[in-house]
Copies of this chain bind each other. A is one copy, B any other.
Amino acid sequence: MVKVAIVGATGYTALELIKILLNHPQAEIAALCTRQEGSPAIETIHPSLSGRLNLACENLTPTQIAERARFVFLALPHVASMAVVPDLLKAGCRIVDLSADYRFNHPAVYEKWYGHTHTDPGRLGKTVYGLPELFGDRIPTANLVANPGCYTSTSILGLAPFLCQGLIDPKDIIIDGKSGVSGAGRTPKLNLLYAECNESIAAYSVGNHRHEPEIDQVLSDASGTQVEVTFTPHMVPMDRGILCTMYARPTRNLTEADALETMQRFYEGKPFVRVVKQLPSTKDVIHTNYCHMTARISRGRLVVLSVTDNLIKGAAGVAVQNLNLMNRLPETTGLPR
């Protein structure tokens, strides 16, 4: 039984983590942490946990956390993660960090896009990027895993089969991303109010979303070639789910059948990726850890469509998938299907 702590327990991702872990046969939630005063019971923060988890949210130090749990999920905002990672590692914890703090290879990239000096730059470039379908061989032995962003994993999974085999031009890729509102977090802001988001779709952060450099880097690492994508995210009036519609130029003649077979072979044996024939809906995968994807050819362009649940396969689910791999458990243990 893996004893687990969740640091940053008030957000939507943490709630999903808790729900998954409550059904996980080999993991046990040993501590929940927030910086809130007064150690509120978790069910006052997440009413759906009423009667299911009798734990308070405590303000614990890394040492106190390590006394209770050997495995830590950091569901913290960026900057807050790197403030505790070194101490937690020193105290013997293994960590899946759901923030962006350890996703980049170079401090300069982090600093440019996140606007903060990195206080633990020595670990950048050495931390495993926790996308099991691409880096599954390096995860089991890692002590610190950087859990991917939600747009990032959804788009990378769709494009990697083609980029890794040189089938598309790495400099002519457009990712048109569409996400449910939970992706924007649980902090009260005007633009996240129901009466603002509902019955509306809009793009945001065009040309300057922080997932753009992350996608570039990971696809470049995975394919061994310099990838540059144009990424445009949109907010869709739904709770959860991401659809990435991706447009690329084939480098040689590619039929729809070729494209589907390329994806199929690339993900053979991967339990959470399903190559489907029909056009995938986010509703097909929400509340699960699956990624569904398909491909079309339109006027000579390759169109790849990929869907996930942003809170599960895009965050909490893949985090538990990483926990499974890091603990030599079957990859699918406890994950919603």
Q: Is A241 an interface residue (CB 8 A)?
A: yes
Cα distance A193–B243 in the bound complex, in angstroms: 20
In this complex, the member of A47, A204, A284 whose beta carbon has the largest number of chain B beta carbons within 10 angstroms is A47
Is A197 part of the contact surface with B, judged by Cβ < 8 Å? yes
Give the residues in chain B near A94, CB-CB below 8 Å. none
Q: Which residues of B contact A47 (CB under 8 A)?
A: 276, 278, 280-281, 284, 292
Contact stretch, chosen from A81-89, A129-137, A174-182? A174-182
Q: Flag if A188 contacts B188 (CB, 8 Å).
A: yes
For chain A residues 142-177, which have a beta carbon within 8 Å of chain B? 174, 176
Q: Does A327 contact B (CB under 8 A)?
A: no
How many protomers of this protein does the assembly include? Answer: 4
Contacts of A232 in B (CB 8 A): 245, 298, 303
A51 and B200 contact, CB distance less than 8 A: no
Interface residues in A254-283 (C-beta closer than 8 Å to B): 274, 276, 278-283
- Determine if A22 is an interface residue (Cβ-Cβ < 8 Å): yes
Q: Which of A272-314 contact B (CB under 8 A)?
A: 274, 276, 278-288, 292, 296-299, 301, 303, 305, 307
